[in-house]
Structure 1
Amino acid sequence: MGKIVCLQALSPEQESLIQKTAPGYEIIQGKAKEIDPAIVRQAEILLGWSKLLEEPALHAESPLRWVQVRSAGIDMLPLERLEQKSVLLTNASGVHAIPITEMIFGFLLSHTRYLHTAGKQQLQQIWKKPANNTLGELHGQTMLIVGVGEIGSETARIAKAFGMRVTGIRRSGRNLPYVDHMYTMDGLQQAVADADIVVNILPATDETLHIFDEKLFAAFKPGMFFVNVGRGQTVNTDALVQSLENGQVAFAGLDVFEEEPLPAGHPLWAMENVLITPHIAGDTERYDGRVFDIFLENLKAYAAGHELPRNRVDYKIKY
C-alpha cells in the first residue's frame, strides 16, 4: 500500500475524498516536526514540503514519486535532488491570485487615497487633510505587470475594473485577456518607461536575480509607483532605495525583500513613501482549501496513470 503524507490538516470530508480518489493509499497527516522520519521515508506522495523532511524523503531507497508543494515559489526546494530522483513536482500557482491581487490594490489605494498617512494620523488624533488637489486616482493610469501568470491575469482583470490601461511582461509574449499589450522580457526596459505603476510578480530564478537594478529603475518614468509581491531577490534593494530617495519612484508597496525579516535600521523602514508588509500578500483563510483542490485534481490523474494536469513544474526553467 502506498503512503500519502500530508503536512496540512485535512477535514474528514477531504480525507474521504482522497480515499475515494486513491483507494489503495494510506493517509498520514501531521506537521513536519512531528512526523516520524521513517514514515516519510516510505511516502510515495507528499502534500507539502519541509527541509526537515528532505533526507528521509529523498533517501536513495524511498519510493517518493510526487510532491505537491503549498507555495507557488519553489526556489527553496532541493530541485536538483528532486530532478535526479525523477520526482514529479507541482506547485500552488493560482492559490494566491485573489489575495495577492487584493494586496496589490490595497498598496496602491493606501497611497493614492491618503489611507496610509491617515492611519498614522489617527493614532495621534490629528485631523489634517492633504494639500488641495493632491489625491490621486488609479483610473486612467497605465499598470505594467511584470510576470503575468495566474496572479497577473487576475490583477489585470481588476485593473480594468478601475479603468486602467494594462501592459504585461511574460516569457512567451503571448497576449491574455485584459492585457492591452504584452511584451517579452526583452521589452522590459521599454515597458517600464511607458508605465505609471509597475507591479513585480516575478519568481526567483537565475534569469530574474536583481533584474530590477539601477539601470532599470533609471528607465522608470519619474514619479511612478512600484509594488513588489514577487520575490525579494528580483530587486536590487540598494538601487530601489536610491530611486525612492531621488524621486524616480514616488511610492513603493513592498511585501518581499532580499533579506527577511527586513533588518532593523534598514533605510526602507523610515521612508514615508514606502508601505511594508511582512510577506503576507498570499495569505488567506481559504489557502488550505485551494491547495487541496489542486492536489485532488492532480491526484485523480496520478491514480489513473495520467499526466498531472495542474501546475507541473519544469525543472529547467524552475517554475
Structure 2
Amino acid sequence: MTKSIVCLHTLSPRQQELIREAAPGYSLILGNSKDPDLAMLAEAEIVIGWGKGVRDTLLKPESPLRWVQTWSAGIEKLPLDAMEDKGILLTNASGVHAEPIAAVIFGFMLLFTRNLHTAVRNQLNRRWHSEGNESELTGKTAVIAGTGAIGSETARIAKAFRMKTVGVSRSGKPVDSFDEVYTTSQLQDAVGQGDFVINTLPLTEETKQLFDAEIFSACKQGSYYINIGRGATTHTEALMEALNSGHLAGAGLDVFEAEPLPREHPLWGMEQVIITPHCAGATDRYADRLVDIFIENMKSYLKSGAPARNLVDYSRRY
C-alpha cells in the first residue's frame, strides 16, 4: 500500500518532482491549509505544513501520522504536548529565513545610522534637510540574542562592516562570526555593550517577555533595538518607555505582541520606530529552501526512521 505525504502549501511542478524523487513508495498529495481535506489528512503519514481545524483528525489514535514538517520556524501555535504524547516527529523551517531576515536587520541598521528613515519622510514633504548626525556601522557593536541560523548570518555580514559581534544563547558556546558569546542569564551584561541589540529568539517559556524594563535599562544610552524574532519576547510598554525617555534612540520592529498591530497603537506614531508587518522572512525563494530541508530530512527518515535536520526538542520548544 502506497504511503502518503500531504503538503498543505503550494508547490511548483519542479518542487513536487524533487519530493517524489526523494520519497519512493510515497504519494505526494497537495492540499490547502485554509480549506484542508480532512479525509485526505486522515491517511497521511507525513504532513508538510499545518492548518486550521486539522488537529483532531491528525491526532486521532488511529492516525498514521509520523512526521510533521512545519512551513514556519515558529512552532508555538501547534499542539505540542499532544504531538509529543503521540510520538510525532516535528521539524521546523529554521534556516529558510536567514538570508531575507538578515537583510531586513541590516536594512533597519542602515536606515538608523544614515537617517534614511527621516530622509524618506522629508522627501514626502519636499523638505531639503539633514539632521547632521549621520553615522556608520564600522566600529559599532551588534549584540545578537540567538546564535542560530539567523543570528549567525547576521554576525557573518556584520563582520563585512567591521563590526564587533556579541552573541547571546542558552549555552553560551562559541559560534563562528561571533567575537564572544554570553549565556541568556548574562543578557543584562551583554546588552550594555550594544550599539544595536538584535532579538532573533523563538518564543518559549524562558524567552517570554525576556526583554523587559530591566533589560532595556541595561542597554547603552542611545542604542537601537531590533526585533525580528517573536513579539511576545518583548514587553512592549517597557520598550515604549525606553524609547520615549530617549534611553533607546530607536527600534526596528517586525513582530509584535498583538498582530496585526492595532491602528490606534502608539508605536505607529513614533518617528524613531520603523515598523514592518511581520514580513522579514518573506522571500520568493522560501518554498525552494523549505523543500531542500524536507528532501534532506526525507532521505534521513527513509534511512534511519527520523529526520536529521531541524528536529524539534519538545522539552525546549524549539
Tell me the TM-score range normalised by the shorter chain. Answer: over 0.9
How far did residue 265 of structure 1 move?
1.6
With structure 2 as the length reference, what TM-score do the two structures score? 0.97
Counterpart residue type for residue 318 of structure 1: R
How far did residue 309 of structure 1 move?
1.4
Residue matched to 1:199: 198
* Matching of residue 111 in structure 1 with residue 121 in structure 2: no
How far did residue 33 of structure 1 move?
3.2
How far did residue 123 of structure 1 move?
1.8
Counterpart residue type for residue 283 of structure 1: A
Counterpart residue type for residue 82 of structure 2: R
How far did residue 16 of structure 1 move?
2.4
Counterpart residue type for residue 221 of structure 1: K
The answer to whether the 8 A contact 2:31-2:37 is kept is no
The answer to whether the 8 A contact 1:142-1:196 is kept is yes
1:250 is paired with a residue of what secondary structure? strand
How far did residue 17 of structure 1 move?
2.4
How far did residue 32 of structure 1 move?
2.0
Residue matched to 1:157: 156
Residue matched to 1:94: 95
Query: Which sits farther off after the overlay, 15-24 or 240-249?
Result: 15-24
The answer to whether the 8 A contact 1:21-1:303 is kept is no
For residues 57-136 of structure 1, the aligned pairs below 5 Å read 57-131=58-132, 134-136=133-135
Query: Which sits farther off after the overlay, 187-196 or 87-96?
Result: 187-196
In structure 2, distance between residues paired with 1:257 and 1:188 = 21
The answer to whether the 8 A contact 2:15-2:288 is kept is no
In structure 2, distance between residues paired with 1:174 and 1:190 = 16
The number of residue pairs the alignment matches comes to: 317
Q: Deviations over 1:9-52 (max 9, x none)?
A: 22333222222222211111021234421111111000111133
In structure 2, distance between residues paired with 1:109 and 1:189 = 25
Query: Which sits farther off after the overlay, 43-52 or 227-236?
Result: 43-52
1:108 is paired with a residue of what secondary structure? helix
Structure 1, unmatched stretches of 5+, are none
In structure 2, distance between residues paired with 1:70 and 1:35 = 15
How far did residue 306 of structure 1 move?
4.1
Residue matched to 2:229: 230
Residue matched to 1:308: 307
For residues 1-319 of structure 1, the aligned pairs below 5 Å read 1-131=2-132, 134-319=133-318
Counterpart residue type for residue 199 of structure 1: I
